[in-house]
Structure 1
Amino acid sequence: MNTPKLLLLSLAVTAALSACQKPAAPAASADATAAATPTLPPLAGFKTSDLDPSKNVCDNLADYVNAKWLAANPVPSDKTSWGSFEMLDERSQAASRGIAEAAASDKNATGITRLVGDLYASGMDTTKINAAGIAPLQPMLARIDALKTPADIAGYLREEFAAGRGDVFSFGAEADFKNSSQKIGYAFQGGLSLPERAYYLEDGPDGKYKAIREAFVKHVSRQLQNAGVAAADADKQAADVLAFETRLAKASLSPIELRDPNNQYHYVSMAEADKLTPHFSWTEFFKANGVQADGFSLSQPKFFAEFDKMLTDVPAAQWQAYLRIHAIDGMAPYLADTFNDERFDFYARTLRGQKEQKPRWKRVLDTVEGSAGEALGQLYVKQYFPAESKAQMQVLVDNLREALKARIEKLDWMSPETKAKAMEKWSSFTPKIGYPDKWRSWDGLATKRDDYAGNVLAAAKFNHDYEMAKIGKPVDRTEWGMTPQTVNAYYNPLMNEIVFPAAILQPPFFDPKADPALNYGGIGAVIGHEMMHGYDDQGSQFDAQGNFNNWWTKADRDGFDARTGKLVKQFDDYVAIDGLHVKGQLTLGENIADLGGLNVAWDAYQKALKDAGKSGGDKVDGYPEDQRFFFNWATVWRRNFTPDEAKVRLNTDPHAPANFRAIGAPSNMPAFAQAFGCKAGAPMVREGEQQVVIW
């Protein structure tokens, strides 16, 4: 949103699973106006009535558990996917809407309540927004019109980044890969409008990418015309924009290449950086952004070398066309309907198959989330996160930690030397549950009830300055990378922490009243998944302190790579849609985490049963608890996609399609075959060389 996320730190699940001291309860404050509790959509927990006995569970667990539900629950017209995550997100948004509307109606609100209220009220004032037209963007467009020389363009880029926007590349603050206790700056490749480089450089299956490029050029032309550019000139500028971005794409790494931490970190001194890009001074860039630093990560040197060449050999008019459309499309959601509708028509309808826009209130809530999400979250947890959920989650986390420890200790393929390092990393895991220990301050962010675009721009600048102030400072380990109202979880390898926002702690993931099988098959597997990210193909390259540092013997790493290679092949063999296969290398980290996490959750669940003097054969609602464990795992992964969304994700999403996640890990577990009496040779029973065993 306002600051870039390094890809490594997106090991946490985006729309799927990305997942100590107990945080103190937030203190009551005078500005925390209570909202009237709205009626929330129903919870999406597992129900035995969803099972389809006409299917064979040993053929496909996902079909047996989810086929009926998926057939009865197509993707809503205002979405591109629909499943367990989206249903919980509907509840989170309904709750947040009640909070935002109450804040907007409180004329005497102060502090974070006023902030949330101003953002929401200004975004809902469509009459004023439409009347303003392009006016909020005119100062930016005027600056672009005045650009003549490479120095002008470099100066404009510096100004835009300092304002919290920025084009061509991304820049943000993150822990130093080599010294994770300190924050440094990271410059990262970017600047593309289409999902990834292949959309510019290949025709794609059935010419799909070529058709998308053609639609993109038409979109750019229409959007420029909306801003007052004459049709013929808009067409020429649109062609220039595609050519400009194609050149950036040629210098960009692919999503699979970007998964390698070596391609995410390239530390240089300021002098070295200035030498690499002689026409773009990083010394001046840092100065413009109010940052003093000796060096930073210029993460993809090839990309930035090409960017520097483009400053001198791309005509100013072509630069202007590129910067102009990025300014317009970047602000389109906050401008008149003409701009927003055109942006939706290409990026959502054409690219991803979304039939209609979300209701206005949801779009405005997205803005509140992007601009001041933690402020909204501070109000959210006061109403929607019961203390007992945190207490039970802590027990589950502790149980999963012990199960993981036992699995590491029993590994027969890892040497004692490497195993000792793995245990050192295990001992330093930090779990975070519900919401942050301390809330960030929003003092100094001035907003109004009647200036939506102005509020968004002010928040972008405020949040950018907040991020820049971290560079050169010690890492604040109390910070969170997600808001409490986010239905997700994540692992951060640079802090060796696992994080579970409040909003995910509901069915089907977690239910304080549910039997252990459902909770261990749901949130237990999520906890295990996030822990296992510390030992996936990326996370395993970071040590107990969060530093990018090899702690493996060569023989152990070779053995690990051989095992994970089998998992790559397993997912490569899955055919997702229209003959297109899953990319096993792109999704490897998540698949390792699923496999290890579900095994760890199963171990913890078995111990919980033993401690309670129970057997996994005990029935609840007519089914043995051992089976209910796997039923809920599959329930978590029930999800429909529009065909276009599914195809975009195959190229860009480090998570495999949900139906394959539901079957991928269980098919490698003898416990699954035993729970359902599956015979050798069944599709859900992988044996011998086909079976993948890692952690």
Structure 2
Amino acid sequence: MKTLWFGAAAAAALLGAAAPASASDLRPLHIFSAAPAAEAGGAVDVSEAQRMGPWGFDRTGMNAAVRPGEDFFNHANGAYVDALVIPSDRSRYGTFDALNELSVNRMRAVLDASAAGGSASGDEALIGTFYKSFMDKASVDAKGAAPLTSDLAEIRAAASKEDLARLMGETMKGFGGSVFSAYVYDDAKNPERYTVYLGQAGIGMPDRDYYLTENFAPQKAQYEAYVAELLTLAGWPEPEANARAIVEMETKIAEVSWTRAERRDDDKTYNPYTLPELKAYAPDFPWDAFIEGADLTEAERVVASENTAFPKIARIFAETPVEVQKAWAAYTLTDQAAPYLAEPFVAAYHGFREKTLSGQPEQKPRWKRGVSTVDTYAGEALGKLYVAEYFPPESKAKMEALVGDIKTAMEARIKGLTWMGDDTKAKALEKLSKFTVKIGYPEEWRDYSDLTIQADDLYGNVERAAAFEWAYRVDRLDEPVNDKEWGMTPPTVNAYYSPTKNQIVFPAAILQPPFFDPDADPAINYGGIGGVIGHEITHGFDDQGRKSDGDGKLTDWWTAEDAAKFDAQAKKLGAQYSAIEPLPGSPINGDLTMGENIADLGGLLLGLDAYHLSLEGKPAPVIDGFTGDQRVFLGWAQVWRGKYREDALKRQLVSDPHAPPHYRVNVPVANIDAWYDAFDVAPEDAMHVAPQDRVRIW
């Protein structure tokens, strides 16, 4: 199943969710974090988010025995992390997950009420019926593999490479795999219009490294066993032999695919072609059939993201026997459909995708998975009822004021930069002035009236929802871009920046403690939600965001001299992260995490500056012996407390553009002069970085 876009095909977020490689990997969205979506535990609890101590910080979670300059993350969070036991249905747990638990429980309450309402209509009836179809385990189990029958028959009937390419195009609107992905989103060089983006695809594990490095050899072996298991469950012939051939094919694709770090480059991934040009450039793939299957025949041009990989992947497709391609299509169909099928499929999916790849011992309870499914496929219908129940209007007004404070701080920082020339400064300030912000929920909600949901057809519901979403994207190719569209649902604990819209977005669910507490000490809020706001604003000026102007157009508005100075500091920051090995033999990739690292450093600086501005020249109060600056830094650190299972951490290090939380605290603070003053950090301390070696960008 292709990841649904909900308008989010281009942003950078606070926390990115782990997922198999798919079209979602192409998103230029800048997302704040990497928390898994909709993973919650325990009984339904719709109480308020837990306050973090009397003034917004949980002092009991500190480890005072660790000096701030020795390990600031552990100084601020060590006691909490040491005592933390990751729930058995989780691959990680921490602050994000705890708040996400509240959001998921609230969604469950909305869905339970909707499912129970005999007189429900409209969105309420739709999400209630969708949820009931997921929760009716007896009906789903009774069908066994039957829901796959029609789709598998289409695969069996394929007689040529053209037939297979057409089926690959059709998977954009349903279950199944393709060696090329497609999506429709804002044109990066003409952001007022939509365009078709194509990308490399064709691998079923989280990253090419899983196929090519010894570090993941055990996972690769277990992947082959998983492929064989699903083919057996689907009734496909010769499952073991076909599984070997499938993994061989995917390994060849991995070998010629771009790395994730290479795929971050907005300039290198913008490669427009007319269809005749694409056919000439990568002639070994039946593009006409693929485009027809995806209903994209009206598109006059496409943008090929990893273009140099296209001819190589096309050649692999051409050289792979039709019968192997058909087995691969049957496997990818079954893999993506498995969560919505009978228990043997669900158990196999959990055994590999969650247990093997992320170390999660137990499967999430069915109700959690049901909540996640409805949020994924009918998220705004659910979100509309969610915010009516759980998002107070005053939170929106207070957030708007905080955003204004952070923008003021950014304006001052740009004006005060010593390394940037006046021409570039003027354009940076112009871009900042054009930032727009969305808080809480959309002004205009999606209309789901044409989506058919049936209480006894979970598989069909998901297929129809995917087709509904794809048609929504494709049908607007000739329409102007809708700037009111959201890329996340309101119950999402996250935030993002969209470069094509020059827009920062904060869903309702993140506007709660520990990020935002209207009754907390202001310094904690400036370190928490202030740092988040600053993070998203800084994404507009990170190594990729800086390439788009105030109107969202991908264009070079920098002088060569200023760009060179920026790049030098960015490389310096990347080297700091690349020198860190969270696990032996598994370093942070400073190139892959570059944008998020710049945004973390800039975000914390902006939160600190905005706090200083809020004091209006008055001295900061001291609370429980902590100064104002100390509390800002502690507020940032508290946001990131948590821990990972080892397999989940290994997965993040190769596939996620965010550094692990421990280093999202320690590396930024070590580059901020005020942190040294606030905590009396000395040259002999382990985290000390000499002043001349500290990174100074924004």
Give the distance between the partners of 1:572 and 1:310, measured in 2 at CA: 33
Matched letter for residue 236 of structure 1: A
Give the distance between the partners of 1:433 and 1:137, measured in 2 at CA: 41
- The answer to whether the 8 Å contact 2:111/2:128 transfers is yes
Shift in Å, 1:127: 0.2
Shift in Å, 1:484: 0.6
- The answer to whether the 8 Å contact 1:11/1:589 transfers is no
The aligned counterpart of 2:15 is 13
**Taking structure 1 as reference, are residues 7 and 433 closer, same or farther at Cα in structure 2, changes over 3 Å only?**
closer
- The answer to whether the 8 Å contact 1:151/1:279 transfers is no
Shift in Å, 1:12: 4.8
The aligned counterpart of 2:279 is 274
**Taking structure 1 as reference, are residues 456 and 43 closer, same or farther at Cα in structure 2, changes over 3 Å only?**
farther
Give the distance between the partners of 2:14 and 2:60, measured in 1 at CA: 32
The aligned counterpart of 2:27 is none
Q: What are the ranges of 5 or more consecutive residues in structure 2 without an aligned counterpart?
A: 19-29, 33-43
- Alignment RMSD, CA only? 1.9
- The answer to whether the 8 Å contact 2:682/2:688 transfers is yes
Aligned residues with identical type, % of pairs = 39
Give the distance between the partners of 2:291 and 2:503, measured in 1 at CA: 30
The aligned counterpart of 2:261 is 256
Shift in Å, 1:442: 0.7
Matched letter for residue 169 of structure 1: F
Deviation string for 1:92-143 (max 9, x for gaps)?
0000000011111112211110111011000000000000001111111111
Matched letter for residue 665 of structure 2: A
**Taking structure 1 as reference, are residues 578 and 47 closer, same or farther at Cα in structure 2, changes over 3 Å only?**
same
The aligned counterpart of 2:307 is 301
> What TM-score results when the alignment is normalised by the length of structure 1?
0.93
Shift in Å, 1:210: 1.5
Shift in Å, 1:282: 4.0
Shift in Å, 1:14: 1.4
The aligned counterpart of 2:479 is 473
Aligned residue pair count: 670
> What TM-score results when the alignment is normalised by the length of structure 2?
0.93
Give the distance between the partners of 2:487 and 2:8, measured in 1 at CA: 12
Instruction: Specify the SS of the correspondent of 2:582.
Output: strand
The aligned counterpart of 1:212 is 219
Give the distance between the partners of 1:40 and 1:104, measured in 2 at CA: 24
Give the distance between the partners of 2:173 and 2:650, measured in 1 at CA: 36
Instruction: Choose which of 390, 393, 398 in structure 2 pairs with 1:387.
Output: 393
Q: How does 1:320-359 map to 2 (within 5 A)?
A: 320-359=326-365
The aligned counterpart of 1:31 is none
Give the distance between the partners of 1:679 and 1:302, measured in 2 at CA: 49
- The answer to whether the 8 Å contact 1:164/1:461 transfers is no
Instruction: Choose which of 449, 460, 464 in structure 1 pairs with 2:455.
Output: 449
Moved more, 195-204 or 675-684: 675-684
2:189 matched to 1:189? no
**Taking structure 1 as reference, are residues 37 and 255 closer, same or farther at Cα in structure 2, changes over 3 Å only?**
closer
The aligned counterpart of 2:38 is none
Moved more, 477-486 or 137-146: 137-146
Give the distance between the partners of 2:653 and 2:124, measured in 1 at CA: 40
2:666 matched to 1:663? yes
Give the distance between the partners of 1:289 and 1:321, measured in 2 at CA: 21
**Taking structure 1 as reference, are residues 287 and 323 closer, same or farther at Cα in structure 2, changes over 3 Å only?**
closer
Matched letter for residue 119 of structure 1: F
Give the distance between the partners of 1:652 and 1:487, measured in 2 at CA: 20
Shift in Å, 1:687: 2.2
Matched letter for residue 583 of structure 2: I
2:58 matched to 1:52? no
Deviation string for 1:594-640 (max 9, x for gaps)?
111111111110111226x3x22x22244223211111110101120
Matched letter for residue 271 of structure 2: H
Give the distance between the partners of 2:325 and 2:291, measured in 1 at CA: 22
Q: How does 1:72-151 map to 2 (within 5 A)?
A: 72-151=83-162
- The answer to whether the 8 Å contact 1:137/1:328 transfers is yes
The aligned counterpart of 2:555 is 549
Deviation string for 1:258-302 (max 9, x for gaps)?
111133221111221232344545455444444412111122223
Instruction: Specify the SS of the correspondent of 1:408.
Output: helix
- The answer to whether the 8 Å contact 1:15/1:488 transfers is no
Matched letter for residue 414 of structure 1: M
**Taking structure 1 as reference, are residues 43 and 333 closer, same or farther at Cα in structure 2, changes over 3 Å only?**
farther
Give the distance between the partners of 2:510 and 2:652, measured in 1 at CA: 22
The aligned counterpart of 1:25 is none
2:686 matched to 1:683? yes
Give the distance between the partners of 2:484 and 2:357, measured in 1 at CA: 38
Q: How does 1:611-622 map to 2 (within 5 A)?
A: 613=618, 615-616=619-620, 618-622=621-625
2:250 matched to 1:237? no
- The answer to whether the 8 Å contact 2:538/2:598 transfers is yes
